[in-house]
Amino acid sequence: MSADKGHSVSTTSPLRGKNVLLGVTGSIAAFKVAGWIHALTAQSVGVTVMMTGAAERFVSSLTFGALSGNTVYRDMFDEEPEKLMAHITLSREADVILIAPATAHTMARLAHGMADDLLSTVVLAAKIPVVICPAMNTNMLSHPATRQNLERLQGLGYQVVPPDSGNLACGEEGAGRLPEWEGVYEKLVSLFCPQDLVGKKILITAGPTREPLDPVRFLSNRSSGKMGHALARTAARRGAEVVLISGPVALAAPCFVTTLQVTTALEMREHVLQQSRDADIIVKAAAVADFRPKNYQKQKIKKNGENRQIALKENPDILAELGKNRRAGCVLVGFAAESRNHEKEGRNKLKRKNVDLIVVNDILSPTTGFDVETNQVTLVDKSGSLQLPLLSKVDTANRIWDHILTL
């Protein structure tokens, strides 16, 4: 077995040290990006703001200057020496341009390569990725002119984070709300991730299952779903189409991932079998309950009642079933929670379940396994095994994808 010795647990933001050039345009949603600047600078991301004239009518440049700790750029013809060539130099010093909120007007100008103010000229002169977050009235968004501009922008290689739907500032309801920060953050992170899972459909299971005894009680386990969710998030960042089938967990569904919520092992099996038909990679990180109560009691079992014994019935082993009916070209990965003999246990499971890789979790240490942010796993496949160091679950997930790509 080979071991990769890590020295410290990396829990740093994937955006740490990057520089974001934030272009704010004239929408009422401009106030929301003040919070985004705070979120970015808290992760040691440099933020420089440029504003259109209309944006200044909504939020003072002072707000953005104070939050970013940097000069705010507004005027194309500013004569201050440091701002003289801002339309060229600003993007040279940045890793990404984020335009948020992006009005219909700004999108129209960018879609047609106009350069009639500082923001549009900077974008035209830039050689770095541009991410656009539209925000506007729903009729403006659905107007064919705006729709064509959005298509044009995507054709020009700009990344568009789709606007959310809901109550709009104008009192109407529909699509047009500034997208939520979580999705914008994921889009930014994905720009700095290898896009090596593009074109792959990946099915991931996560969390525990709950096996009901009566209307109030169930059998379950300590799985938090954090490892499976980290796998889903990182696969989406690397360009995969991801379906996550999750048992009950206290985690938000990851952005840009199709998440299906299930409760019992039988429900999980049904969804997995359906979704596995066209999957390229299946990773079963869920801690599926091995048993369920044989008889579900429709009425609550009373403290003084007679039903003190719980008869159990074995649940189907979903992974073993997938292993038995293998489809050529589909990579199958299982997890194992072990307290000792990691490699030996992993190798047994690899054979018994007929899979390509087993990820063995160490469950005894307080920094690994259930409900913690870090993990230490051993990867066991046909050609050998690799012990990864203690890493954050997100970093562990990325190392698992790196390994799967070598299989």
Q: What is the DSSP string of 154-170?
A: HHTT-EEPPPEEEE-TT
Nearest to 231 by CA among 262, 191, 200: 200
- 25 counts as binding ligand C5P under rule CB under 6 A: no
Strands (E), 44-197: 46-51, 96-102, 130-134, 159-160, 164-167, 173-177
Going by the DSSP 8-state scheme, the letter that residue 71 receives in this structure is: P
302 to 341, contacts with ligand C5P by CB under 6 A?
315, 317-319, 334-336
The answer to whether 243 and 203 are in contact (CB under 8 A) is yes
Q: Is the dihedral of CA 116, 119, 120, 122 positive or negative?
A: positive
* Ramachandran class of 2: left when φ > 0, alpha when ψ lies in -120 to 50, beta otherwise: beta
- Enumerate residues 93-152 that contact ligand C5P by CB under 6 A: none
CB of 318 to ligand C5P, least distance (A): 3
Least CB distance from residue 320 to ligand C5P, whole Å?
7
Q: What string marks each residue from 199 to 218 as x (binds ligand C5P by CB under 6 A) or -?
A: ------x-------------
288 binds ligand C5P (CB under 6 A): yes
Task: Give min distance, CB of 195 to ligand C5P, in A.
Answer: 27
Q: How many CA atoms lie within 13 A of 285 on its CB side?
A: 31
Measured between alpha carbons, how far is residue 119 from residues 26, 35, 155 in Å?
A: 12, 21, 20
| Tokens of residue 58, six digits | 């909504």
- Closer residue to ligand C5P, CB minimum distance, 194 or 212: 212
Task: Using the minimum distance from each CB to ligand C5P, give the nearer residue, 280 or 290.
Answer: 290
**Residue 232 makes contact with ligand C5P by CB under 6 A:** no
Among residues 170, 193, 255, 330, which one is catalytic? 170
Count of residues engaged in binding ligand C5P, rule: CB under 6 A: 14
Q: How many whole angstroms separate alpha carbon 296 and alpha carbon 18?
A: 54
DSSP string over 176-231: EEPPPHHHHHHHHHHHTS--TTTT-EEEEEESB--EESSSS-EE-----SHHHHHH
Residue 357 near ligand C5P by CB under 6 A? no
Does the annotation count 170 as an active-site position? yes
Residue 152 vs 352, nearer CB to ligand C5P:
352
Q: Does 290 bind ligand C5P (CB under 6 A)?
A: yes
Q: How far is the CB of 196 from ligand C5P (least distance, A)?
A: 23
- In angstroms, rounded to a whole number, what is the distance separating the alpha carbons of residues 71 and 47? 10
Q: What is the smallest separation between the CB atom of 366 and ligand C5P, expressed in angstroms? A: 21
Q: How far is CA 354 from the centre of its chain?
A: 29
**Which segment (98-106, 175-183, 281-289, 377-385) binds ligand C5P by CB under 6 A?**
281-289
Could you tell me if residue 384 is left (phi over 0), alpha (psi between -120 and 50 degrees) or otherwise beta? left
Q: Does 281 bind ligand C5P (CB under 6 A)?
A: no
Specify the residue, 29 or 397, whose C-beta has the smaller distance to ligand C5P.
397
> Between 233 and 284, whose beta carbon lies closer to ligand C5P?
284
Mark the segment that binds ligand C5P (CB under 6 A) among 149-157, 171-179, 254-262, 282-290: 282-290
Residue 353 has phi, psi (to 5 degrees) of -100, 0
CB of 201 to ligand C5P, least distance (A): 19
Closest CB to ligand C5P among residues 267, 290? 290
Q: How far apart are CA 181 and CA 189, in angstroms?
A: 12
DSSP class of 367:
T
User: Does 379 sit near ligand C5P (CB under 6 A)?
Assistant: no
Tell the smallest beta-carbon distance from residue 260 to ligand C5P (Å): 15
Q: What is the DSSP letter of 203?
A: E
CA–CA separation, 114 and 183 (whole Å): 28
Q: List the catalytic residues.
A: 170
Note the residues at the interface with ligand C5P (CB under 6 A). 205, 265, 284, 286, 288, 290, 315, 317-319, 334-336, 349
